[in-house]
Amino acid sequence: MSDLYFDLLQRSEQLCSNVDQKTKLANNIHNWEENHDKSLDQFSDVESAKEKTTAIIDKSLYNIDRIAFDFETGFKKNGGYVCFSMNNNDVCNTVLKIIKDKKAKNVVINSNNILDDIGIKASVGKKVDDVSELNIDNIAADTDYVKNTDQHPAFPAINCNSEDVIQQLSKNYGGDDSATIPLLISEIRADNDIKMKNADVFISGVNFLTADTGSVVVIDNEGAFQKAQLYAKTRIFIASINQIIENIADLKTLVPMYSSYAYGQKLPAYCNIISGSNGLTFDGEPSETYVIITSSKRISLLNDHNMRTALRCINCGACMNVCPVYRCGTGKLYSSAIPGPIGLILNPMTKSLDNYHFLPFLCTLCGKCSEACPVNIDFPSLIVQVRQTIVDKKYCSQNDEDFILGLQKHLSKRKKLDRKGIMTKDKKLKHLTGQLGDWLELPVFANKSFSEQYEILKEKERKEMEAQNKANNK
Ligand code: SF4
Ligand code: SF4
């Protein structure tokens, strides 16, 4: 069992019983649900739009070797540089090499949860004078403070209410009790403007890479990306291999779908498309643009017909919003920058089974995530498959296996339970709830089985009917 598992055991009870935290999360999700429902009006048939989105991504994944090469050719033709990395360490080393070559001292960053998962900010922070986050949502969520875990891809501050946001932003930007969110945001924007102008390097995550035009696509609601990429002398964009799509024309489908499922908006405020190097910065200085594409073991999932469907993910976060486990314990349950249902698959399968073998068990297999997902990922079947891998690789102890088999044997038939007496049944239930946490109440075991109760009910109804008939015939 990993350290993260024991850490989760310690934290989960406190997380799941934190009513204040759950209320904030539920309120934010409720807002998203209302907006999301309205934004779906733009599709005449939502299911067809989902099918179309899924087909676009599946086609791209199927042709990934070719389109990765096409993207590289197109982007280089327009003066950009493309590097391929095998894992997170590779990505960090490539970024650090560029920073060293440019003798960069000040770096600005537009993080997303893929960058957080790679650990870019921490890695760059050790080598330069200053690395500043531009994304106001990330600043509000204080993602550094929580060690880059718990990152909702669309709403990093999903666990916060407006007081938390004011408190957090005031901490960094010197507001007082009378500060308001719009006031603080305008201060942050002014501060970001200075940082952008002084930055030697700008690093950002992306939404898509389009192979036919060799372009980087970044969807943004704040506008910081657009400015930062114009000022920076060196721009570094980091993408995962499954973010490459074949045709730029497919953005007509993908952008509204992403916007709707991520933000509950019909369209985002900005959709930036960058093809190669822009040659000069805003200040007329020469600029360079790098794209780093990382496989991060995701490519290994392509060989599995079922598992490859997890790579369809466009990082919208909708599956997290509907998941009862996420909503109970928040993203902090998952000990990863990729939380929620998709994290149950990607963390163990592409990062480390040793560390994350317990994650796929944070799931009731209710299937709500599949209903919410715009790219039709069949989560229950994938989660069961990952669980099977975990059992096959002997991550469950013999004691766990014996315990579950014993329970199955005793609880599968009521007759067997009755033979042992009601006390034995209660003991077994107590043992189970003991594993789940003290704050769960032990349900009372019914004295009679469902069939017995049903027979009694039927008999009672029959007698009542007979009595009624007799009364009617008098
Ligand atoms: S798995 Fe689906 S719902 Fe979840 S983040 Fe990815 S695309 Fe969105
Ligand atoms: S199937 Fe599992 S991961 Fe998906 S919503 Fe239900 S509990 Fe969450």
Res 33 pLDDT > 90? yes
Sign of the dihedral defined by the CA atoms of residues 105, 111, 117, 122, in that order: positive
Q: At what angle do helices 19-39 and 251-263 cross, to 10 degrees?
A: 150
Closest atom of ligand 1 to 312 CA is: 7
For 7-21, 323-337, 338-352, which range has the lowest pLDDT when averaged over its residues? 7-21
Residue 427 pLDDT: 63
Chain centre distance of CA 82: 26
Distances, alpha carbon 413 to alpha carbons 416, 424, 426, 455, in Å: 5, 14, 15, 18
Average pLDDT of 97-117?
Answer: 93
CA angle 232-136-243, nearest 5°?
65
Instruction: Convert the pLDDT of each residue in 161-186 to its tens digit.
Output: 988 888 888 877 766 667 888 888 88
Q: How many residues does the chain have?
A: 474
Q: How far is the CA of 373 from the centre of ligand 1 (A)?
A: 5
DSSP assignments along 273-286, one per residue: EEES--SB-TTS-B
Residue 65 pLDDT: 93
DSSP assignments along 215-262, one per residue: EEEEEESSSHHHHHHHH-SEEEEEEEGGGEES-GGGHHHHHHHHHHHH
Residue 337 pLDDT: 87
Closest ligand to the CA of 379 = 2
Separation of alpha carbons 64 and 246, rounded Å = 9
For 152-156, 157-161, 358-362, 440-444, which range has the lowest pLDDT when averaged over its residues? 440-444
Instruction: Convert the pLDDT of each residue in 298-321 to its tens digit.
Output: 888 998 999 999 999 999 999 999
- CATH number of the structural domain 42-300: 3.40.50.10420
Q: Which residue has the tokens 């073991």?
A: 297
Of all residues in the chain, the percent with pLDDT exceeding 70 is 91
Residue 181 pLDDT: 86
Closest atom of ligand 1 to 153 CA is: 5
Helix (H, G, I), strand (E, B) or coil at 152: coil
Residue 433 pLDDT: 57
How confident is residue 147, by pLDDT bands cut at 50, 70 and 90? Answer: very low
How would you label 400-426 residue by residue, b for 16+ Cβ within 10 Å and e otherwise?
eeeeeeeeeeeeeeeeebeeeeeeebe
Whether residue 384 has its Cβ less than 6 Å from ligand 2? no
Closest atom of ligand 2 to 380 CA is: 1
For 35-44, 129-138, 409-418, which range has the lowest pLDDT when averaged over its residues? 409-418
Residue 145 pLDDT: 46
Best mean pLDDT range from 23-37, 178-192, 387-401, 447-461:
23-37
- Give the residue, 161 or 56, on which the prediction is more confident: 56
Q: Comparing C-alpha atoms, which of 284, 285, 259 is closest to residue 270?
A: 259
* Residues whose CB falls within 8 Å of the CB of residue 426, separated by 6 or more in sequence, listed in order: 442, 445
- Give the residue, 446 or 466, on which the prediction is more confident: 466
In 395-449, alpha helices (H): 398-411, 414-420, 422-436
In 78-180, alpha helices (H): 88-101, 113-118, 120-125, 136-141, 162-173
Whether residue 341 has its Cβ less than 6 Å from ligand 2? yes
Closest atom of ligand 1 to 342 CA is: 1
Closest ligand to the CA of 36 = 1
What is the domain partition of the chain in residue ranges? 42-300, 398-443, 444-474
